[in-house]
Structure formats: C-alpha cells, structure tokens
Structure 1
C-alpha cells in the first residue's frame, strides 16, 4: 500500500473511474450484461480484497494466480455457486484486468491467466414442451393479472421466432418492418449477434393490438415477470418438475417444430436459433424428432398401406387425435399438393 494517503486516494479514484468505463462498454450490449459484470466483479473483490469497487487501488487490481485460485476454491468448497457461475465471475474479472492493463493500471504480466483453470460445467438440460403445451400456456396467460395480452403474444412470438426472452424484451417496433407479403423482424441477440426472422402479416397485426405509445414491443414486461408467469403456467397445466421446463424451453419447442416442418433440415433450424455450431442445435431438438427404431424395423412392423384400408371415419379420428404440429404438417402437405 502507498504510504501517502493522498496518492492512494488518487489511485483509488482513478481505478474506480476506469472500472465504470469498463462497465459502460458492457452496457452497450445490454443493461443486463452490465449489471451481471458489475455484480460478478463486486463479489470477487469483496472476497479477495474485502473492498467495495470504489475503494480499490492499483495494488488491489494487480492480482495473482493465488487470488483466482483462492476465489475458485472458496466458492467451490462452500457450494454457494454452480461451477458455471464461478467460471462466469472469474471470466468477468479477467476481462476487467485486461481492460485495466491497456489503461496502464495493471502492471503485472497476465500470462498466468492460462493457468486459471475453468471448472467443469454441466450443460443445461432444459426440457422441451410440445407445441400444444405452449399454445395452451399462451391462452392461460390471458388470465394473468398484469399485461395478459402482452404475455400471451410474447409466448407466441418466442415460439414463432425462436428468439431468447432477453432479445424479445429489447425488441423495438422499429425492428419490425412490413415488406412485400411478409414481415421482417431483426435485432441483436446473445453475444451481440444479429438475428433476422420473418413472421406472417396476420401475426404482426395481432402484435399491433398491444402497440400504444411505447418504443418496445413488450413494454412493461421484465425477466422476473416472465419467470414468475412460467411457474404459474406450469402449475396450471400440471407440468412434471422433473422435465425442467422454463421459458427458454419455448425456444426449443419452436426449433423442434421448424425441424419437423422443414423435413429435418438441421441447417434451417441452426439459422433460426442463431447457433454457430450445428451440434448445439441438435441438443435443442426434441428426442421424439427421431424414431426409436430404424427405417427397416419400422417398415417391417407397420403395414405401409394401412391408411388406405381403414374406414374413412377411423382415419378422421386418427387425424383428430394428432398434435397441432402433426395436423399442421399434414395440412401443409395437402395444401402443397393442391397447388
């Protein structure tokens, strides 16, 4: 520590100002990103230096490998956070130190970062609802006390476009453009990636019913409100907790529907979900998108001419018992043949 209190106070002010600049850069992505970084950095320095951010000095931000190892070991041993959360907090601090080094506030060599080992993470295994379940939730959302119409349309919009809830909540009316015969939706999603989707004009007209003087499409809806709504909807529809259904699951349902509707085009689904790696896309697809048995076994076990032999009323009854997705695919095929 500096022996001169005035010098230390000056350094403290300088460090805090640069931390604020760093957070402002993160805010350019979203306010949620900034808050996440700020919280993670606060927690790190509170444990390692026992200081709030505004009191950090140059000496405090010149960290060592031991500091990172102490942080990781403490939270892993006490099981306060998951490995994924610990990794995120460490990553946030490393990002800050790189920024402060450019600003000449970190003097130490950061090559030791390569020795800061990430903890193994479990992949989120969120369940995938059926389209019918999602449509049911959309109608039940109309019974919500606060902004029921907005919540219903948010559910339908997520199913239709497969975008994340954070991107949907940032969506502005200016991001939706009516063009020749279709409606273009564009915006910024996770990791600053641009997304582009198309929705029908009829669905766009539905969205316009909630447009008032607001800039954002889903004005007044927050992440906490969405999460709370999902808990209520799951209770009303008796969703098994073991299925691990969350709002993000609706995005998976939308991806699975596109997979079936496109005849198994994984690339089309990959584009819709905004994934760089098709292997990630495969994780999003419902297990029921593939048969339990192979083609030969399936053909041998089922009479492929059976639909021609059953009475018409049985065929209609079977069709009536299909899911909304299956009915859509059947009607789409009929429509294509008529054309």
Structure 2
C-alpha cells in the first residue's frame, strides 16, 4: 500500500472539508474571510483549482514554490504593499501547519521564507508645493516633458498607483454630464471600481500629450508610455533639483500620499480607495504628524486672543497660508461661504 493510500485512510473528510475546518476555527469573521480568500487565491495560482477540487497530491509543495509565489505577489499589477504580501503568505503557511498536525504528507517548514520588510511607512512624506514644483520643472525636459508633467499631476491629484497610471487609457476618462469636470474610472485592489474626478484644466494637460510627434506612433489607447526606468530617473533628478535629502525617503508612492494631508480621515479613506480605515490612518498620521502641535504642549500654551489684533492683514494671511494644506483648504471654503453670504445680502 502506498504512502498516499495510508494517508487517505487517516482522513474522514476531503481536503476542502479540512481546509474549511481550519478556516472555521477562527472566531473573527473578518479573519475567516481573509484567510479563505488568501488560500483560494494561492491554490488558484499554484494548481489552477478551487479548493473544492483539491486532492492530497495537489497540496504537496516545495520551498521554491513559496518563493515563486512571493515573487508573483510582489510583482503583481495590483502593486500589493509588503505587509499585504506577508499576510497572504502567512495564511497559507498557517494552513500547512494545520495539514502537518493532521498527518498530511507535507512539512510546514518547506513554506518558511523570508518575510518582506514592513513598508507601511516606507514612502517618505512629500508635500503639495513640492509635487507642484516637480510638475513644473519636468516640463523643461526635452524628451516627454509634457507627458512626465501630466503623469506627476495625475499621481498627486488622483492618488493612483504607478502601475494604475501606466495602464490608464483614454477611454477610462469621461466628462461628467452635469458638472465641469471629468471622471477617471479604474479598477483598484480587490477588483473594486474606483472613480476619481479631475479638473478640466488637468484633462487639457493630458490632451496636450497627443500633439507631440513621438506620440503618434502609439496605437494602444494608453495615455502614458513612461517606463519604470524613466520614472525612476525622472524622480531622482527632480529630488536633486529641489534639494530633497535621501533620508526623507521620497519615492514615487509618496505622490499617492500627498492627498492624505487634505480633508478628514474619512475623505482620505475614500480618495485612497482603502477598504479599512486603519490603513488610511497609517498614511494620514504619518503625513500629518507634527509633535510641535501636540496636546501636551498646547495645554501649556496660554496666548491671549488679542495677539491677533496686533497683526496686519498681510501678516495674518501669511500665517494662514503657512498652515497645513487641509486647514488652508477649509479656511478658503469658509471664506468663500462668507463672501457668498455677503453677496446674497446685497442682492436681497
């Protein structure tokens, strides 16, 4: 009798029943769903099978298979964060420990691979005025200057990932029939549709790309044709021009995080297309972290309101414009409301 036949005799249920037993042992519904999704995705990649179709032969695995799977996830077009890749792999590793305990012909140590570094704060902070300067400076490039500038503007305005921007097509942008802006539709992580509006001005900047002679050779419908190498060299050059130090760790993903400095946490979550607000909070806190404004310092900071009366109009405006971008945006909206109310009173 073969080893496989002996093992089969040890199991009352099928492989998929045991997998579902493993998933069901977790109390958290969120954990159960997350593990099931991770395990299903793995076996679809590994054996091109749903878990309901798996046999004992299908679950045999080598260490090199897990290394290949990790590489597959790292290079995936969805652009998974390292922490996400680690979570997907951890679910599979945990399942194989369960398999081994239940005397399947596998060794869980074969799935042990180096975990990826936690990159939740890997992308250093980049601020709006710096991103805007970059878009202006790169216009001077003789080769693809307009395309590079529009690419940067789209990056910090929409917060789309680099791979998403590279795959963006003209057909993904439609005018909003009731307003003077355009809607960009993409498919984000988890297959979720994500729609972000852009201004008419930005759309017109995109259209300018079509006017260049080199662009006429492209017939794939894509807006941008910048390679990873071109983007990397472009960003390195711009950082040098702006004097951005290496220790700030500004990478292309930093453009995506510019928006985290605007609006509320909920608004940032929607804009960044995060499923979990705790993910948004990591970026939001990282971008907005300023210990000089901490409660422990402000509670001791007793300054009379009359100090504002000692400033000129220009001094007040200068102070306001130096505040956090989200604060400035809110002040401008409030100011617009005041102006609108004044005009309404005059008209009445």
Shift of 1:306: 2.8
Residue in 1 aligned with 2:233? 228
- From 197, 218, 223, give the equivalent of 1:218: 223
TM value normalised by structure 1: 0.61
The aligned counterpart of 1:122 is 117
Alignment of 1:104-183 (within 5 A): 116-117=111-112, 119-124=114-119, 125=121, 126-179=123-176, 180-181=178-179, 182-183=181-182
The alpha-carbon deviation at position 192 of structure 1 amounts to 3.2
Alignment match, 2:15: none
The aligned runs of 1:1-339 (5 Å cut-off) are 63-64=60-61, 67-68=62-63, 116-117=111-112, 119-124=114-119, 125=121, 126-179=123-176, 180-181=178-179, 182-211=181-210, 215-256=220-261, 258=262, 262=263, 265-285=264-284, 286-288=287-289, 292-294=293-295, 297-298=298-299, 300-319=301-320, 327-339=328-340
Matched residue of 1:153: which SS?
helix
Whether the aligned pair in 2 keeps the contact of 1:141 and 1:152 (CA below 8 Å) is yes
The Cα shift of 1:166 comes to 0.7
CA contact (8 A) 2:124 2:254 kept: yes
For residues 105 and 336 of structure 2, the distance between their equivalents in structure 1, rounded to whole angstroms, comes to 62
Cα deviation digits, residues 184-220 of structure 1 (max 9, x gap): 1101234433211111223222222223665545332
Unaligned runs of 5+ in 1: 1-36, 42-60, 73-83, 95-108
After superposition, the CA RMSD in angstroms is 3.8
| 8 Å Cα contact 1:270/1:281 also seen in 2 | yes
Partner-residue secondary structure (3-state), 2:293: coil
Deviation of 1:271 (Å): 1.4
- 2 CA distance for matches of 1:226 and 1:205? 22
